Amino acid sequence: MSEDLENRAASLDARDRLAGRRELFALDDGVVYLDGNSLGALPRHVPDRMADVISREWGELRIRSWDESGWWTAPERIGARIAPLVGAAPGQVIVGDSTSVNVFKALVGAVRLADGDRDEIIVDATTFPTDGYIAESAARLTGKRLVAALPGDLPDALGPRTAAALVNHVDYRTGRLHDLPGITAAVHAAGALAVWDLCHSAGALPVDLDAHGVDLAVGCTYKYLNGGPGAPAFLYVAERHLPGFDSPLPGWNSHADPFAMTPGYAAAEGAARGRVGTPDILSMLALEAALDVWDGVPVEVVRAKSLALTDFFLECVRTYVPEGRVTSVTPEAHGERGSQVSLCCADAHAVMKELIARGVVGDLRRPDVLRFGFTPLYVSFADAERAARVLADVLSGRTG
Ligand SMILES: Cc1ncc(COP(=O)(O)O)c(C=O)c1O
Ligand SMILES: Nc1c(O)cccc1C(=O)C[C@H](N)C(=O)O
């Protein structure tokens, strides 16, 4: 049984167009890394690039690097690298600040773009907590009422009072992929703006922001985009909204002429409006270098492998793990699945601890969810088989 699945894994890996990409990452063969949905692995070439940024650009060129090393324009330049990965034409994506800060900019910006008589903001009731906390504050600051709705119930919650809806593309806990085209269309039919959090979809699946008419979106770059711990997030503002986008954090970096240093504020044109203060250059340039691993990789190929990997992992779990010990809360339907598998399990904390001790790194979402993230650029089918086999060993009390 195990031999069959091991052979299948080997033949799937042999046919995998992305197999060669794994070499680009600092990973050791003794460990199956299934936590790229929390922190992506390090692309091997990034340390050398950072050594140059620190010793030469900072150490030797010092202040000149803002111009000569392109530091000042890094937020737009890196935004342009991310744009095709999320289906955005140039000029709409800016990189900087945390996702949380960008959720604030995007949501308040959306409310300011909406018809002022509308007095409700809808937030995804299953959201990653930071979006909910910030939506609550944004509602208080803008004098709106916050309404929580499950993504599936959103069409019913929308109405003439809705100014904007903030929704997660993929649920961080279950891995459920929400219907971005359908929900965006419903939000628009109600006359409101759709703001999407792409943290768990950017770099994992095609998002097609422009094609689906999304209004604003945010996403992080330290998961499937491998930008590094605390790497800056991105903000997308659809071109049609850029002239009216009124950032609630209009720092000097978003000024039309920052070095004029005038007391009066005048917003820059384009995506630069989403900038705030001095960019965190070291993290930003680590992200820029990390994005090289995407050269020549269409996100559709990544998606196809992601679905094949999660299908195969689920099959291995069904085959190896004794009946009833785990329950998948990740949808089976491809159209409803992100790039992770979440299994509910008794004693999940102890189980994950033991998995990690045995070289299978996933994570735990309390109280009982084992999360396994599949990053197609570096996770193999052999990894998926081994993870399921080790999970079965742990649950059956077999020693490793
Ligand atoms: C959906 C989602 N939004 C936001 C965040 C985090 O935001 P920040 O980068 O500000 O910590 C995460 C993960 O940390 C997330 O999964
Ligand atoms: N951003 C994180 C961090 O700074 C520490 C630990 C984990 C994270 C995460 O990204 C968690 C992640 N968003 C999640 O889906 O749970």
Which percentage of the chain shows pLDDT scores above 70? 100
Does residue 328 register a pLDDT over 80? Answer: yes
Ligand nearest to the CA of 168: 1
Q: Is 100 near ligand 2, meaning CB less than 6 Å away? A: no
Domain spans of the chain, in order of start: 2-30+297-395, 49-294
Does residue 400 register a pLDDT over 80? Answer: no
Q: Express each pLDDT in 22-47 by its tens digit.
A: 999 999 989 999 999 999 999 999 99
Q: Is 224 near ligand 2, meaning CB less than 6 Å away? A: no
Encoded tokens for 284: 């930003």
Does residue 316 register a pLDDT over 90? Answer: yes
pLDDT band at 2 (very low <50, low <70, confident <90, very high): confident
| Cα–ligand 2 centroid distance for 126 (angstroms) | 16
Q: Which residues are annotated as a binding site for pyridoxal 5'-phosphate?
A: 99-100, 128-131, 197, 200, 222, 252, 278
Whether 206 and 234 have beta carbons less than 8 Å apart is answered as: no
Active-site option among 25, 104, 172, 222: 222
Distance CA 167, CA 132 (A): 10
In 3-state terms, what secondary structure has residue 188?
Answer: helix
Distance CA 61, CA 73 (A): 17
**DSSP 3-state percent helix, strand, coil across the chain (nearest 5):** 45, 15, 40
pLDDT band at 76 (very low <50, low <70, confident <90, very high): very high
For tokens 């100014």, what's the residue?
163
In 3-state terms, what secondary structure has residue 21?
Answer: helix
62-88 average pLDDT score: 98
Q: Is 38 near ligand 2, meaning CB less than 6 Å away? A: yes
pTM confidence score = 0.98
The residue contributing the CA closest to ligand 1 atom 5 is 99
Active-site option among 128, 374, 378, 381: 128
CB atoms within 10 A of CB 322: 9
Does residue 379 register a pLDDT over 90? Answer: yes
Distances (CA, A) of 1 to 7, 222, 317, 327, 385: 10, 37, 12, 21, 12
Encoded tokens for 155: 């069409």
Ligand nearest to the CA of 363: 2
Q: Express each pLDDT in 169-217 by its tens digit.
A: 999 999 999 999 999 999 999 999 999 999 999 999 999 999 999 999 9
Atom of ligand 2 at shortest distance to CA of 363?
16
Residue 350: the pLDDT is 97
| Cα–ligand 1 centroid distance for 231 (angstroms) | 11
For tokens 């140059």, what's the residue?
52
For tokens 């289906």, what's the residue?
87
90-106 average pLDDT score: 98
Active-site option among 81, 144, 223, 386: 223
Of 171, 129, 164, which Cα lies nearest the Cα of 147?
164
Whether 367 and 399 have beta carbons less than 8 Å apart is answered as: no
* Ligand 1, CB cutoff 6 Å, lining residues: 98-100, 128, 130-131, 168, 172, 197, 199-200, 220, 233
Ligand nearest to the CA of 195: 1
pLDDT band at 265 (very low <50, low <70, confident <90, very high): very high
128 assigned to active site: yes
| Assigned architecture for domain 49-294 | 3-Layer(aba) Sandwich (3.40)
Q: Is 98 near ligand 2, meaning CB less than 6 Å away? A: no
228-256 average pLDDT score: 98
Residue 398: the pLDDT is 86
Contacts of 206 (CB under 8 A, 6+ apart): 87, 299, 300, 303
Cα 98 off chain centre by: 12
The residue contributing the CA closest to ligand 2 atom 11 is 38
Atom of ligand 1 at shortest distance to CA of 230?
9
79-108 average pLDDT score: 98
Whether 15 and 312 have beta carbons less than 8 Å apart is answered as: no
Of 270, 379, 386, which Cα lies nearest the Cα of 27?
379
Distances (CA, A) of 400 to 5, 358, 389: 19, 7, 10
| Assigned architecture for domain 2-30+297-395 | Alpha-Beta Complex (3.90)
Residue 179: the pLDDT is 98
Whether 190 and 196 have beta carbons less than 8 Å apart is answered as: no
Q: Express each pLDDT in 116-141 by its tens digit.
A: 999 999 999 999 999 999 999 999 99
Residue 399: the pLDDT is 81
144 assigned to active site: no
- The Cβ-side half-sphere exposure at 325, using a 13 Å CA radius, reads 18
236 assigned to active site: no
Distance CA 288, CA 4 (A): 41
Distances (CA, A) of 221 to 16, 200, 227, 286, 290: 25, 10, 5, 11, 10
Whether 235 and 106 have beta carbons less than 8 Å apart is answered as: yes
Q: Which residues are annotated as a binding site?
A: 99-100, 128-131, 197, 200, 222, 252, 278
